[in-house]
Amino acid sequence: MDKIRIVGGNELNGVIPISGAKNAALPLMIASLLTDETLTLENVPRLADVALLTRILTNHGVDYSLNGKRAGEDILTGQTMNLTARAIIDTTAPYDLVAKMRASFWVIGPLLARMHTARVSLPGGCAIGTRPVDLFLMGLERLGAKIDVAQGYVQADAPGGLVGNRIVFPKVSVGATHTVMMAASLARGETVIENAAREPEVADLARCLNAMGARISGAGTSTIVIEGVDRLRGARHRVVSDRIEAGTYAMAVAMTGGDVLLDGAEADLIEEPIRILRAVGVSVEATNRGIRVKRNGAGLTAVDVETQPFPGFPTDLQAQFMALMTRAKGRSVITETIFENRFMHVQELARFGARIQLDGQKAIVEGVERLTGAPVMATDLRASVSLVIAGLVAEGETTVSRVYHLDRGFEKLEEKISRCGAVVERISG
């Protein structure tokens, strides 16, 4: 298994290109199941999750191709993917594929909408809580599907097709919003989703679906209206930039000091993280190329954070922020409200010498003067990069194992930060 070796102590200075968002690319790829024409996606990140989802889609009959790299193109730029689901040859998404990545469960919506039947394994993915699929199934049932769950699979059927309806989610769910929005795009009549997720990736999916001929309004707000159409066509769409990657590298610069331009980052997607970083003592400014992050060597100020659905502070930046707070002056309270088991990185951060106490869904971080390099182990996707952030300032050498978690969500991380002065290398094992 690969490891990442880091020697701490260097500032980050230079330019880090921000990739297309994984959390947008995955539902966009799944949307290709809704049409028999080609969906072309630009700025698709080179990630393990993208490769796995490609395998799952080909199992359903999707043909795909990747455009060749152009002369002079940077290796860190996104790729262009062409997806064509001319004929769906299999409406079953098997356990051995779906269990590896939770987002692959979302194929149930397009398969049901287009083929009127789907059999999909219950999902897997990061071990960060139960993350049930009850909201997905409730939404599909409201569209007229008959749902049966047995032997680890969801069987969904709508012999006469799906029919629009009003759906009120009892709590916000990004995945359920994605799934129902895709399914409703081919349903008869109007669907209204209340208490919908407001994340930028939801709005990005709606923009793509509208380019394919869907009639969706309100995406990015808590109420989404979908007027069903008979068929969708092919389209060309550019994946929105990754706000989680941008926030992660902003925190890495805040941790190490230095001056970095996050090329292609969109400040309006991370307004709350930017507000928090400024309170910590970091300069964050939007430019015509992206976001510039600077820290001139002054100390970090402890700040309390509570994770919330967008536009609040993202749960996917919680671990990274906790790493940053280990070196802040004072006491920070970090409250996790989204997932009930997302503090697994605490014990690994403690191996650096961090002082963190857990109290239910709160983590109390007492900043320390120094961290010391240590062998640590990634426990999930976002936790893995928090260990890299700690390693960048820890005295001596840090090795992060189980970095396959990292490869699921961060494109060419070692190359990006080493170009800015980090001493980091991947060790194949």
- State the catalytic residues: 126
d(CA 184, CA 165): 9
Consult the annotation and say whether 69 binds a ligand: no
Consult the annotation and say whether 427 binds a ligand: no
Whole-angstrom CA distances from 197 to 37, 104, 194, 221 are 28, 18, 9, 7
Consult the annotation and say whether 148 binds a ligand: no
Consult the annotation and say whether 174 binds a ligand: yes
Consult the annotation and say whether 59 binds a ligand: no
d(CA 428, CA 407): 13
Consult the annotation and say whether 146 binds a ligand: no
Consult the annotation and say whether 82 binds a ligand: no
d(CA 311, CA 322): 19
Q: Cβ neighbours of residue 288 under 8 Å, at least 6 residues apart?
A: none
Within a 10 A sphere around the Cβ of 3, how many other Cβ atoms? 18
Which DSSP letter does residue 352 get? T
Structure tokens at 386: 């928090």
Q: Of 212, 133, 210, which is closest to residue 176 (Cα–Cα)?
A: 133
d(CA 348, CA 154): 36
Consult the annotation and say whether 102 binds a ligand: yes
Pairing verdict, β 397-401 and 3-7: antiparallel
Consult the annotation and say whether 135 binds a ligand: yes
Asked whether 420 and 16 are in contact (CB, 8 A), the reply is: yes
Angle in degrees, 0-180, between the axes of helices 174-184 and 22-30, rounded to the nearest 10: 30
Consult the annotation and say whether 172 binds a ligand: yes
Consult the annotation and say whether 412 binds a ligand: no
Consult the annotation and say whether 388 binds a ligand: no
Known binding-site positions for UDP-N-acetyl-alpha-D-glucosamine:
102, 131-135, 171-174, 316, 338
Known binding-site positions:
22-23, 102, 131-135, 171-174, 316, 338
Known binding-site positions for phosphoenolpyruvate:
22-23
